Structure 1
Amino acid sequence: MTITDPAQWEDLFTRTVDEQPVQFVRPADTDRPVWAVYEAAVYVGSVAAETDGGRPLWRVQDSREAHRDLDDAIRSLRRPSSWTREREQVAAWARRLLADETLLAIDVETTGLENAYAVQIAAVDRAGTVVFNEYVQPNAPVEPAAVAVHGITLDRLAQAPAFAELLPCLTDVFHGRVAVAYKMDFDRGVIERELHRHHGDAAAADEWLGRVRWEDAMVPYAVWRGLWSVKRGAYRNQPLGGPHDAVADARLLIAKFEQMAATPSTSPW
C-alpha cells in the first residue's frame, strides 16, 4: 500500500511483514480506518490508523499501544505468550543496575564499523553526570561514512590526545565499575583493540578488560519493546536513536534504563 491516507486504503489487502504475509480486513459495519489482522487465516488482533497531519499512527486496539510503523504494530501482535514475564525480568534487571552505585553508561564513537579505533569515549554515571569525555587521536583514517554519522573529522582531532595518554585516567574511571553499553560487544571491542595496540599483548588487554563488569543493553531493550520478528525468531533490535555524540548517547542510555525500570509489575504476587 502506497497511499498515505489510511482512510483511502482498501477494505481487504495483504502486506508482507518479515517475509510472512499478513491479511487486513476492514469490518463490514464501518468505513473507519480499522482492520482485523489475520495470519494463515487465524485472527491475531486489530489495528486502527490515527492521522495527525503526518505519518499515520497505528494503534493496536486491544492494548492501545501505538506505533509509527505498521510493521511494528504487527510485530507487537506476534509477541510470544512469555513476553510479559520476560519484560518484567528486564525491568528487574534495569532496576538492579540503576541501584548499583558503580554503574557507568558508556559510548564510543569510532573511525568506522570494521576494525575501528576510538575518536570519542564518554562515560556517565547513573545520574547522567559526565565522569569521562575525551576525543581521541586514532592514528588511523576516519571513514567518510563515520564522519557523516558523528561529524568528527581528523582536523577536529588534530590536537586530541592518543589513547595511551588517556589510559591512566580511563583505568581510574572504569576499573571496579559496571559498564553498560548499547551493543556492548562493539564498544568493548573498540577498547580491546586500543588496548591490544597499546600493549602489543592480548593478555594485558584481557586483564584490563577483566577488571570491568560489562553489560549489554541492546538485547534487553529489544525484549522490553517486544517487537517479535518471525524471520529472526527473536525480538527485533531497536536503534538507540541518539545524536551520535558519545555523552548524549550515554545519557540517552540511562534514560532507557529508567524507562525500563519504571515498568509496572503485572505479577499476581
Structure 2
Amino acid sequence: MTADPALLDDLFALEIDGQTAQFVRPADTDRHDFAVYDGHDFLGMLYSDQVLGTAGWRLGGTYERHGALEDAVRALRRPRSWPRERAQVSDWAQRLLQDDTLAAVDVETTGLNKPWAVQIAATDRSGTVLFDSYVNPQAEIEPGAIAVHKIGPERVADAPTFGELLPALTEALHGRTCVAYNLPFDKGCLERELERHSSPQAAARWLGECRWHDAMEPYAVWKGLWSVKRGRYRSQKLGGPHTAVEDCRFLLARVREMASSDRPGEG
C-alpha cells in the first residue's frame, strides 16, 4: 500500500500479515504522521515523506524509510533481538567478502517444479565472470519461466548439454566458497543435473567440493521486515534482471549491502 498520506483518515485500521494495526494522527499536528498500535501496544511513529516530495514513510527516531506503509509497520514490529541478529548477518557478510575464493552462482531454469538448467553463471567476488553458458535442458521450458528470463527453446537448441559443460563448471567452482540466492533451488537444480549425468553418490561428492552459503535468509534478517503471520522475517526479492551473470552481480551487491553498517532504508 503506497497510499497518498493526504487521503488517509485521522483514525484508521489496516490488516497486515493477519494482524490489525491501528493508525492515529496526533491531535497536535496537521502533518500526515501517525502513531501506530497493535491492539493496546504502541509500536512507534511513522512520518510521511510527503513533505520531502517523495512517497514513503520514515520510522520515528531514525532515518529509515520504506515506500510501502505495510513494510514500515513490519519494520516497527521487529523483535527486540533484531539488532543482534542483524549484526550477526553483517559479520557473516564481511567474512564472506574477505574470502578470496568466493563465487556467486546463479542458475536460470526450465520452471519451478524440479527444473533443469537453461543458463548457469558464476562470478568471483569482484563480479568477474568465472563461468557463463546457456544449457540445452533436453526438456520443455515452461512459458512462465520464459516470461521471466527470456530464454526460449531457440536460444538453447544448439547450446551444450550439462554433461558437456561439466568439466569447465568443475574447474570454475571446485574448492570455492559459493553463495547463491535461494540456495535450495539453485543447488537442487545442479544436483538433479549431476544425478542425470552420473549418480546420486557422484552428485553428492561433486557438490561437496564447494562450501555453500545461502544469502536469501540473511538478507531477510538484515532488512528486518517482520511477518507476525509467518513468525519470521519476510523474504526479499533479489531484484536482478534474471540473466545469470547479472543476477550474480546483484547478489554480490546484496552481500556488500549486508556487510555495511547502514540501516535498511537509509540514504
**TM-score, normalised to structure 2's length?**
0.95
Quick check: 1:245 aligned with 2:238?
A: no
User: In 1, distance between residues paired with 2:222 and 2:244?
Assistant: 23
User: In 2, distance between residues paired with 1:145 and 1:106?
Assistant: 22
Whichever residue aligns with residue 112 of structure 2, its letter is L
The farther-off stretch of 62-71 and 99-108 is: 62-71
User: In 1, distance between residues paired with 2:262 and 2:64?
Assistant: 15
Identity %: 56
Matched residue, 1:77 = 76
Quick check: 1:220 aligned with 2:218?
A: yes
User: In 1, distance between residues paired with 2:189 and 2:243?
Assistant: 16
User: In 2, distance between residues paired with 1:238 and 1:52?
Assistant: 28
User: In 2, distance between residues paired with 1:161 and 1:8?
Assistant: 57
Q: Is the CA contact (8 Å cut-off) linking 1:176 and 1:211 kept in structure 2?
A: yes
1:88-237 correspondence to structure 2 within 5 Å: 88-199=87-198, 201-237=199-235
Displacement of 1:52 = 8.4
Superposed CA deviations along residues 9-33 of structure 1, whole A, max 9, x for unmatched, are 1000000010000000001111211
User: In 1, distance between residues paired with 2:262 and 2:243?
Assistant: 31
User: In 2, distance between residues paired with 1:107 and 1:54?
Assistant: 38
User: In 2, distance between residues paired with 1:168 and 1:54?
Assistant: 55
1:9-88 correspondence to structure 2 within 5 Å: 9-51=8-50, 56-88=55-87
The farther-off stretch of 62-71 and 125-134 is: 62-71
DSSP-derived class of the 2:62 partner: coil
User: In 1, distance between residues paired with 2:52 and 2:134?
Assistant: 41
What is the CA RMSD across the aligned residues, in angstroms? 1.7
Q: Is the CA contact (8 Å cut-off) linking 1:27 and 1:34 kept in structure 2?
A: yes
Superposed CA deviations along residues 220-250 of structure 1, whole A, max 9, x for unmatched, are 0111111111111111110001110110110
Displacement of 1:69 = 1.0
Superposed CA deviations along residues 145-171 of structure 1, whole A, max 9, x for unmatched, are 000000000001121110011000001
Q: Is the CA contact (8 Å cut-off) linking 1:45 and 1:62 kept in structure 2?
A: no
Whichever residue aligns with residue 226 of structure 1, its letter is G
User: In 1, distance between residues paired with 2:73 and 2:230?
Assistant: 15
Displacement of 1:41 = 1.5
User: In 2, distance between residues paired with 1:63 and 1:228?
Assistant: 18
Superposed CA deviations along residues 170-199 of structure 1, whole A, max 9, x for unmatched, are 011111111100000100000000001111
Q: Unaligned regions of 5+ residues in structure 2, if any? A: none
The farther-off stretch of 51-60 and 247-256 is: 51-60
Superposed CA deviations along residues 67-117 of structure 1, whole A, max 9, x for unmatched, are 011111001101111111111111111111111111000100000000100
Q: Unaligned regions of 5+ residues in structure 1, if any? A: none
Displacement of 1:59 = 1.2
Structure-2 change in CA distance of 1:113 and 1:36 (3 Å): same
Matched residue, 1:260 = 258
Matched residue, 1:6 = 5
**TM-score, normalised to structure 1's length?**
0.94
Which runs of structure 1 show a deviation greater than 3 angstroms over 4 or more consecutive aligned residues? 51-55
